[in-house]
Structures are given as C-alpha cells and as structure tokens.
Amino acid sequence: MALATLVHPTGSHPASWLHPSAYPGASMDIGYYRDMARLAERGMFDLFFIADTPAARTSQLEAYARFPLFMNVFEPLTLLAALAGATTYIGLGGTASTSFFEPYNVARQFASLDHISGGRAAWNVVTSANDFAARNFGLDRLPPHGDRYERAREFVDVVRKLWDTWEDGAFLRDRESGLFFDPAKQHPVAHEGRHFRVNGALNIERVPQGQPVIIQAGASDTGREFAAETAELVFASDSTLEAGQRFYADLKGRMARHGRPPEALKVLAGLPAIVADSEQEAEDTYQTLQALIHPDVGRMRLGMDLEADLSGLPLDEPIPPERIPASANLHKAYFEHILGMIREGLTLRQLYMRYERGNRTIRGTPKQVADHMEEWFTSGAADGFMLTFSLLPRGMADFIEKVVPELQRRGLVKREWRGRTLRENVGLERPGHRRQ
C-alpha cells in the first residue's frame, strides 16, 4: 500500500502548537522540516505532502491567533525544493491553485522540482476554497464551484501540454554535431481556450517521471469526474468503510469513460492517527489536545466549514436553524458531515468538540491501526493512506516505530524502495509523450 503524510508544522490538531511537546517555532524552521522529511523517508513513506492556501486571514484574528492555520508558513514550491536535497526517495507533493496562478509558472515550477528531486514531484490541483485568497489576486470573491472546476480542467490540460513540450531524449548535448537539442523534438503548445491562451514552449526538458504526479481531493460529483479524468493520486475523506468502498468504486468506475484503467489512479484514504502502546494512552493524548481547544477556535472552525457565522451564539445550545445555509459553496463533504451532527441535536460546544475535518482520528494500539489499514486496503476502500498526525513529529515517529514494522510483517508495506521516482514507488506508470 502507498503511504503518504500531510504535514502541518506542529501537527494536524488545531491545538497542537499548545501541547507541551510541540515546538512552536516549527513553521519557520527549515531544519525542522528537513528532519521531518528524513524521518518520513526512513519510515518508508512514499509522499511528504504540504497543503496550502495563498492567504492569511485578516478577520477573526482573535481566534486565528490561537489557531494559526496557514498564517505563517513556507511557500510550498520553495519548501519542497529545499527538502529535495535532504532526501533521496520520498515523493514531494505540494498544492497550487488553478484559480489564481498561471499555468506556465505552475508547469515550470513542478517540472523544475521533478528535475531537482530526480523524479519525486507531485502537484495537488486545487480550485481553492476561500475568498481571502481570491482578494489577494484581484478578485472580490471566489468564482462559483462549477466555474472553478471548468477553469481547473483547462488549467491542467494546458499544464500537461506544456510538460510535453519536449519529447524524451530531445536534448542531445552532442558536441560533435554542435546540436544541443533536436529541433524536431520540440512541440510548442498552441492553446486558445476560454480561460487561458498559451502559445509557446516550456523551457525545461521532459521530467524524470515523464510528468509530475497529479493529486486531487475533490469529493463533489464535479470533483470526482475531474479526478477520474486526470488524477493519479486522490485523497479521500470518508469516515466509514462502507462510504470508503462506495467512493472507491465510484471513482474507479468513472475512469473507463476517460479511457483510463483503474490502476492509473490510487485512492489514498485520509487517516488521522494517534498510536500508542495502549488504547487508553492514545485516547489520553487525544483528550489532552481536545481540552486545549479554545471556544473561540471551536466556534470559528465549525463556522468556517458550515459556511455560517456562529459568533454570539451560546455554546451549550444547538445552532438556530436560520443560521445554517441551505447548501455548501466550499467543501461539500465537510458541510454535510456537520449537518449530520446537527441533526443529532448536539449543542454548539458538543459539535465543535466532536467535529474533525475529514475522518475521525483513529486512536489505538499498533495492532488496531494496522488492522484498520489492512481492512480498508483488502476490501476495496483504499490503495493506500494519507496519514495525518495530531502532534508532530511525535505522532509520526510513533507510527513509524510501532505501525510500519507491523504492516511490513503483514506484507502490506514494502521493505525496500522500488526505485528513485515517486511513480515507481507507488506503482504509477510513467506516461508516454503525447505528440500535440
């Protein structure tokens, strides 16, 4: 199975930086990231992944000062390039938005990262989901969901064409003939679309992986169709085995109509995990963190994903129905998860204490966590996992020490690297050059 990890500086828990074991300087310490990438590589993780949003909040700062998500972080491409030299095998994945960036720059920077890392780059294609980012790029607000995906499809199409500017072997570097490249092996892009006009050639040769790996995570119908068409790794966020199996089958089922075999896309189930020698110890770690969530933070986080203003509401009563929007514009899966809990009649405080973005954190022994992973992997719910750790680096170190050897004993995780590229290690074929 493929192993990936999504890294937030001190961990994925909203109060992680407040934990006594956390290093509050983590987000601006490149040495800390280097150590963590090396740790993940020693633990046979295939992918070290950096989520991103190109904005810092400018409102609700009293809450964000206590929960500094993306308020002060390295930019992903520069960070990943810096990590390339500190690692040898692990894949390096980062997020770049199709709503605000230019295809030429994205194509070029991920291609450059693939060359710098010897074939380990992966691009997480996102359409972005907040107006704060939009306002940094000349817009008043985010375009609607459907429009963002239309632009994203065209954006990815252009990027892939740019990546195939040059055939493999176009660069001869032949002093005898005096030819550095073969002019017949350049295929410039001539793209005139609704959102982009790109007429030219990428100034970097075809990458070690053929093309960098494409990641996506959209759970909506549009998002799934887009993933079935173009994604190679998909981060899933279902909470039950049955939902995971449905998502897996649905996504793989959509691929045929885009002429893709099911194995051309790997589903990585999101898995927040706290592992300890006893279940109680894992639960204690979780509850210690939960107790550190400030009510302002709980209210704000819940409101963000419910797309509702929860300020001023009493903590120990249910949310009044008139505060709840009819439908989601941002993260549909998160929104519906919260709606489900609201229908159970929980109070605002109970909601935010129970709500987690994506999956519920699994707390358990190495055997329990390994059993969970084996079950999902062998019953058609996942090709691998995107692990998040509430506390870093401790949570990752525990997982690597306790769970990875168990998964290796079961023959589920490799003991040796299959190659030097991300594609080789997760079992994705190197794409052939598409003449354009």
Using CB under 8 A as the binding rule, the residues of this chain from 65 to 84 that contact its own copies are 65-68, 70-75, 77-82, 84
Q: Which of residues 191-210 bind its own copies (CB under 8 A)?
A: 196-205
Packing angle, helices 221-230 and 241-255, rounded to 10: 50
Task: Find the Cα–Cα–Cα–Cα dihedral 218, 221, 226, 231, rounded to 10°.
Answer: 50
Q: Cβ 333 to its own copies, closest distance in Å?
A: 24
Beta bridge partners of 140: none
Among residues 21, 32, 181, 408, which is the contact residue for its own copies, using CB under 8 A?
181
Size of interface with its own copies, in residues (CB under 8 A): 78
Stretches 13-21, 210-218, 310-318, 395-403: which one binds its own copies (CB under 8 A)?
13-21
Q: Of 257, 252, 226, 258, which Cα lies nearest the Cα of 382?
A: 252
Give the binding range for its own copies (CB under 8 A) out of 49-57, 237-245, 338-346, 362-370. 49-57
- The DSSP bridge pattern shows strands 179-181 and 171-174 to be antiparallel
Shortest Cβ 124–its own copies spacing (Å): 16
Q: Which of 35, 88, 105, 327 binds its own copies (CB under 8 A)?
A: 105
Backbone angles phi, psi at 143, to 5 degrees: -65, 160
SS3 of residue 293 by DSSP = coil
Residues 275-314 that bind its own copies (CB under 8 A): 294
Q: Choose between 87 and 359: whose C-beta lies nearer to its own copies.
A: 87
Nearer to its own copies, 116 or 339 (CB): 116
Question: Using the rule CB under 8 A, which residue among 35, 141, 179, 379 binds its own copies?
Answer: 179
Contacts of 233 (CB under 8 A, 6+ apart): 2, 4, 47, 93, 122, 213, 214, 215, 216, 265, 266, 268, 426, 428
Q: Which stretch binds its own copies (CB under 8 A): 20-28, 254-262, 335-343, 418-426?
A: 20-28
CA distance linking residue 269 with residue 310, whole number of Å:
30
Site stretch for its own copies (CB under 8 A), options 57-65, 345-353, 406-414, 415-423: 57-65
Alpha-carbon gap, residue 316 to 133, rounded angstroms = 33
Question: Who's near 280: CB < 8 A, 6+ residues apart?
Answer: none
Q: Does 188 bind its own copies (CB under 8 A)?
A: yes
CB count within 10 Å of CB 322 equals 6
Closest approach, Cβ 373 to its own copies, in A, equals 33
From the CB of 283, what's the least distance to its own copies, in Å?
23
Of 143, 115, 145, 119, nearest to 131 (Cα)?
143
Task: Tell me the pairing of strands 213-216 and 121-126.
Answer: parallel
* Nearer Cβ to its own copies (67/385): 67
Closer to its own copies by CB, 161 or 224: give it. Answer: 161
Report d(CA 366, CA 400) in Å as an integer. 10
Q: Residue 173 or 435: which CB sits closer to its own copies?
A: 173
Which listed range, 177-185, 209-217, 306-314, 329-337, lies at the site for its own copies (CB under 8 A)? 177-185
